[in-house]
Structures are given as structure tokens and as C-alpha cells.
Amino acid sequence: MRPSDKTEDQMRVLVVGSGGREHALIKKIKESPKVDYIACCPGNGGIAYDAECFNVGATDIDGVVELAKTISADFVVVAPDDPLVMGMVDALNAEGFKTFGPNKAAAIIEGSKVFSKNLMLKYGIPTAEYKVFDNPADVIGYIKEKGEFPTVIKADGLALGKGVIIPETLEDAVSGVKEIMEDKIFGASGNNVVVEEFLTGPEVSVLAFTDGKCVRPMVSSMDHKRALDGDKGLNTGGMGTVSPNPYYTEEVAKECMEKIFIPTIEAMNKEGRTFKGCLYFGLMITPKGPKVIEYNCRFGDPETQVVLPRLKTDIIEIFEAINNETLSALEIEWDERACTCVIMASGGYPKSYPKGLEITGLTNGNLDGVTVYHAGTKLENGKLLTSGGRVLGVTALGNTLEEALEKSYEGVSKIHFENAHFRTDIGKRALEALK
Ligand code: AMP
Ligand code: GLY
């Protein structure tokens, strides 16, 4: 599958990114009869079994454009938030490449929380009440005056999913605001902060395909963001997911479509920021109805790992329809089965953790009975080693949620690396909701 083998009607796809989400995208793209070559940059140890990996960083815009030229890519999928917010899609389009992912103007929906909150306010899209601040003294003054805890403080810009703090006390709020706005632990992302009302209710993740004209929500999912069982411990990128999310009933879905999904697409159009790609709606089903907690301008991780295995339609057809703005004419089909993903992380994650530990139990990155999406692995001298916080996503389809979970956990029990950490209660809340 070298570049020189290219024939007229075969597509060559480049995927930008290196995590479990990218691995799930690549495995789905591989199913398309239209595709005969997949490259990934930078990729990882497991992705290397499914795509040719190139050592170009995911935020290296010039490098990615060059690579797309070198391999004669017909389509480039930009998966992570940073390159999207930086304008990688614009740079690729300027060179004539077809892409999947929003341009810079639209990616701001994730790139700036101040932007997204103001958008929701302006267009009446339900979200938590909020105020924006540009200096720490005003934030603390406001929080003191309100005197309501817990409260929610969010850094304006990208912060690896860690830019949200939910202090229970004034002291915690003071130290959190200091870290974000003065110590700048998230850099310029903390120049402005949003303080918002604390909402309650189950959370639902809905990824949606959109070409800017119509919006097609995918099947729902539920993330498990905290590091430890019982939703204890620090916030992480996500320790596991299940799909469907039982809290996302047909009634809720209808309300979200009318009050959130369509209004968001229309609002972006009215702002001259038409969004094309995958828009991620992080929702909370509050006693007053569904509200938006956050938007992401990309597929979720690890939501993608449980949503895409359920997609029956050729994903390349969807990408092309979005490019051609003909998504409304495309029927998108889903597998009725449930899907679950249990993340195996390095001991210590999301704080510091060792790298380079040998992973055993897999054959060519795989294991019978489950799909193992690689997030933080590398191949070295034929050995598979850990190389990140989240290492593997052990994923299974099942006729029921229970069956899928059983398979995922059976897979987990067969895979080993020193100090592997995983939650033992992925899907527990979903199962309780189904009772
Ligand atoms: P975010 O990065 O915006 O998704 O926030 C991370 C997590 O913080 C979310 O998944 C929620 O669990 C929680 N969170 C964010 N905003 C609020 C809010 N307004 N009320 C309650 N919890 C929130
Ligand atoms: N799993 C949460 C996210 O992708 O932002």
C-alpha cells in the first residue's frame, strides 16, 4: 500500500492524531470499500497495525500539508481539537485537499468558552447561567457575593479537558482561580474565565454529523470522567464509555433536536461560522430539561470508541456528503447492539505516570472477542510499550449493555502492564437507570 500503488478510483486517507479516538476512526475507515490506503500522523503502536504512521506532529500544520502532498491524500481527517482550532483544515483546503473537520472560524465553538457561552445566550440555547471575567479579583468578588457552592469555573481556551474546576468552598475557588489566571497552568487559555451556575442531572454525550445545512445526531453515549470508581478522584479525559445512554430517551432526543442541535447549527451559520464536521454536544439532563455543558468541535474520546462500532453506513460516504453539503439525502444506519469501552490507564494518571512499560496479552495489538483501541502505546523492537496516560480502550458490542460490559472486562482481565489502572464500575449507572 505504498503511495505509488494509487489507482484512479481508490481513496487514500490521512488521519491526523494519535489516540484511541483516531484508532477507532481508522478502523471504521478501513471498513470502507472506497479506501485502499490509510496513513496516520503521528499515530501510535496499535494504529501502526492498521495504518502507515508518519512522524509528523498533530499540530504541525505545514508538516501535515506536506505529508498530505507526499502521500497524495484524497481526504484528510483532522481529529484533535488543537489543530482544528489552529486552522489546519483551512491550510489543507487552501492546498486543494478535501477534509473532515471544521475550519478555524467554526472550531472556536470549542476553542473559546466565552464565545460558546455568548452564542448560546444570544440564540436562546439552554445552558447554565454565567458571567465572564478577565481578572482574578473580580472573579473572587463575584463568587463571594453570590455565596453559592459548588460553583463552576472554566478557563476560556483549550486545556486538555482539565480547564474546569468545581470548588466546594471559597478557599478552593481562590486557589483554583489563582492557578488558572495568575500561575497560568493552562497558559493563555486562562486569560479569561467563565463562572457558571452548578447544574445537576445525568450527563449525555451526543456526537452529531453536520454539513452546516442539516444535523444528524449519532447514537448517544455516556462518559465516565473521574479517575476512580464511584465518580471519585480527579477529572480525566474519560475512563470509559457506554452507548446508548439510557438517559437519552426519545423524548429527550426530540427536545435536544428542537432546542439545541438545530439552533446551534443555525446560530453558527448566522455568525458566518458554518460548522462542517462532527459537533460534540456535552449535555446535562437537568430537572428543567437538557442543557449544554460544553461543545467540542470534534469526535469525543472515548465516546468515538463506542459510537463508531455501531455505525453501519460507510463513514467515507458520510464524510463526502458533508463535504458536498448533501448530508440530508444520506440515510445513516446504526447497529441496535450496545457498545462499551473500558480504558486501561497508566498507574498515576491523570497525574504523573511512568512510560515504556511492556504490555502483554495482545497479539498484533489485538485480542479475540474485543476490539482494542490503542491510545498511548508504542512499538519498540517488536514490543508493545505504554507511552501515555490512557493506554488502551477495551471495547465490545453486546446484545445488552451487560453482555457488552462482560466482554470488555473479560478482555481487560487478559491484558497486563505494571500498575494498570481501570475503573471497575463502567456502565454501572447506566445499568441502574435501565432497572
Ligand atoms: P467540561 O470540560 O466543560 O465538559 O466540564 C467537565 C465536567 O465538569 C463536565 O463533564 C461536568 O461533569 C462538569 N461540569 C461542567 N460544567 C458544569 C456545570 N455548569 N454544572 C455542573 N457540572 C459541570
Ligand atoms: N470525553 C470527553 C471529550 O472528548 O471531550
pLDDT tens profile 208-232: 999 999 999 999 999 999 999 999 9
Which ligand has the shortest distance to the CA of 161?
Answer: 1
Ligand 1 atom with minimal separation from the 197 CA: 19
d(CA 322, CA 328): 9
Closest ligand to Cα 393: 2
- Ligand 1 neighbour 198 (Cβ under 6 A): yes
CA–CA distance, 21 with 353 (Å, rounded to integer)? 21
Element housing 395 (H / E): strand 390-398
Average pLDDT, the chain: 96
Q: How far is the CA of 252 from the centre of ligand 1 (A)?
A: 19
Q: Which ligand is nearest to the CA of 222?
A: 2
Nearest CA to ligand 1 atom 4: 294
Q: Tell me the CA–centroid distance for residue 161 and ligand 1, in Å.
A: 10
Q: What angle do CA 93, 295, 96 make, to 5 degrees?
A: 5
pTM equals: 0.96
282 ligand 1 Cβ < 6 A: yes
pLDDT tens digits, 21-67: 999 999 999 999 999 999 999 999 999 999 999 999 999 999 999 99
**pLDDT grade, residue 380 (50/70/90)?**
very high
Q: How much is the pLDDT for 395?
A: 98
Neighbours of 69 (CB within 10 A): 12
Residues in the chain: 435
Nearest residue by C-alpha to atom 3 in ligand 2: 300
Q: Which pLDDT score is estimated for 7?
A: 54
Please indicate whether residue 202, judged by its CB atom, sits closer than 6 Å to ligand 1.
Answer: no
Cell numbers found for residue 430: 447506566
Ligand 1 pocket mutation pick from 127, 158, 166 by most atoms within 8 angstroms of CB? 166
pLDDT tens-digit map of 265-306: 999 999 999 999 999 999 999 999 999 999 999 999 999 999
Pairwise CA distance, residues 400 & 389, whole Å? 30
CA of 282 to the centre of ligand 2 (A): 8
Q: State the residue for C-alpha cell 505545514.
A: 62
Which ligand has the nearest atom to the CA of 238?
A: 2
Q: Do 374 and 47 touch, CB atoms closer than 8 A?
A: yes
Nearest CA residue ID for atom 5, ligand 2: 300
